[in-house]
Amino acid sequence: MAIPTPSAGRLHDVRVVENSVIGEELRKLVIEDAELARAIKPGQFVNIAVSGEPRQLTRIPLSFAECDDELGLIVLVYAIIGPGTARLAEIGPGETLSVLGPLGNGWRLADDAKRALLVSGGTGTVPVFAAALALASSGVAVDFVVGARTRDLLWGLDELRAHISGDLIATTDDGSFGEAGFASEPALELLSERSYDAVFTCGPEPLMKAISNKAAELGVSCQVSMERTMACGFGACSTCAVRTTSGMKGACMDGPVFDGREVVWS
């Protein structure tokens, strides 16, 4: 019998290069670590320790949007949603963070897809952004529907526009930018009207469920990145459970990216 493979995640003391405001609640955190930048793949995540905040002893799991393995830089985008992320936002350039990574299984990008649809909502945009850059650089035609509650929570649109060859559609729940409503509406229309080889989505579960179910109906491959509260990030604590057609799995080790048909949506 084989011995199971532990996570490839390792502890890195990384230097913070930037931790800047990109929206009222949104921050862009750039960290420098050559080894981690070489190892991490789109859709994987890191688990970051913040010190000095007794309300956040567990690490904070974050996805990355961009990675430059030549410069050793990783760009993470996060929302301030509680005391832990508020403490993280206080960390300045030059300070050191303990980062565990790379964690989880990322997007499967080598599917010979010609045309892909990417759909994201909220901070779910972060890992999908990383997928968009990777797909675009390997010549895949990408249409991207990105949704947020309000204009202030949208970011990176200019950069996306510069990289992807297809359509970029932004939606806001309150109509303050782009189309009013949820990302699911234009995304489901595109999915019905155009022919895609692959769909990638991350965001609120109702969004992912709608996209995944429609893709399955059309026979199009759909990868979903599941978000869960979690403690360890490497398979030790069983807190990040995702119900699948083959039983409970862990978002940290079996995911966060799953085949949409595998997920049993609540």
Partner 1 sequence: MSVRLAVDLGGIEMKNPLNTASGTYGFGWQFEGLYDVSCLGAITTKGCAAEPWDGNEPDRMADVYGGMINSVGLQNPGVRGLVATAGTYLADLSARGTAVICQVAGHSVEEYVAAVELFEELAPWAAGLEINISCPNIAQGGIAMGSTPEGASEVIRAVRPRTRRPLLVKMAPARVPEIARALEAAGADALTLINSIPGMALDVHTRRSKISRPTGGLSGPLCHAIAVRMVWEAAQAVSLPICGVGGVRSGEDAAEFILAGATAVSIGSQNLYEPDCAPRILAELAAWVEEQGATDVNELRGALLC
Cβ distance to partner 1 smaller for residue 10 or 161:
10
What is the β-pairing status of strands 96-103 and 45-49? Answer: antiparallel
Nearer Cβ to partner 1 (80/241): 241
Residues 47-86 that bind partner 1 (CB under 8 A): 49, 54-59, 82-84
Residue 21 lies near partner 1 (rule: CB under 8 A): no
CB contact at 8 A, 231 and 239:
yes
d(CA 59, CA 87): 12
CA-nearest of 83, 126, 81, 90 to 107 is: 126
Dist CA 65 CA 126 (whole Å): 5
User: Does 248 participate in binding partner 1 (rule CB under 8 A)?
Assistant: yes
Report the alpha-carbon angle 72-74-75, nearest 5.
150
Residue type, position 235, single letter: G
Instruction: Single out the residue of 65, 183, 188, 232 in contact with partner 1 (rule: CB under 8 A).
Output: 232
Rg, C-alpha atoms of the chain: 18
Q: Give yes or no for residue 11 binding partner 1 (CB under 8 A).
A: yes
DSSP characters over 34-81: HHHHHH--TT-EEEEE--S-TT--S-EEEEEEEEETTTTEEEEEEE--
Angle in degrees, CA 113, 115, 120, rounded to 5: 105
User: Is 246 among the residues that bind partner 1 (CB under 8 A)?
Assistant: no
CA 266 to chain centre: 21
229 lies in the binding site for partner 1 (CB under 8 A): yes
Q: Which 199-228 positions form the footprint of partner 1 (CB under 8 A)?
A: 228
**How big is the CA angle at 157 (ends 156 and 161), to the nearest 5 degrees?**
120
Contacts (CB under 8 A) with partner 1, residues 100-139 = 100
Smaller CB separation from partner 1, 14 or 65: 14
Are the C-beta atoms of 88 and 26 separated by less than 8 Å? no
Q: Which one of 79, 157, 216, 231 is in contact with partner 1 (CB under 8 A)?
A: 231
CB of 30 to partner 1, least distance (A): 24
Q: Are 180 and 47 in contact (CB under 8 A)?
A: no
> Least Å distance between CB 262 and partner 1?
16
Select from 152, 235, 261, 262 the one that contacts partner 1 (CB under 8 A).
235
In the complex, the smallest distance separating the C-beta of residue 133 from partner 1, rounded to whole angstroms, is 29
Residue placing its CB nearer to partner 1 in the complex, 6 or 93: 6
State the number of binding residues for partner 1 (CB under 8 A): 38
240 forms part of the interface with partner 1 (CB under 8 A): yes
Residues that bind partner 1 (CB under 8 A): 1-4, 6-8, 10-11, 49, 54-59, 82-84, 100, 228-232, 234-243, 247-248, 266
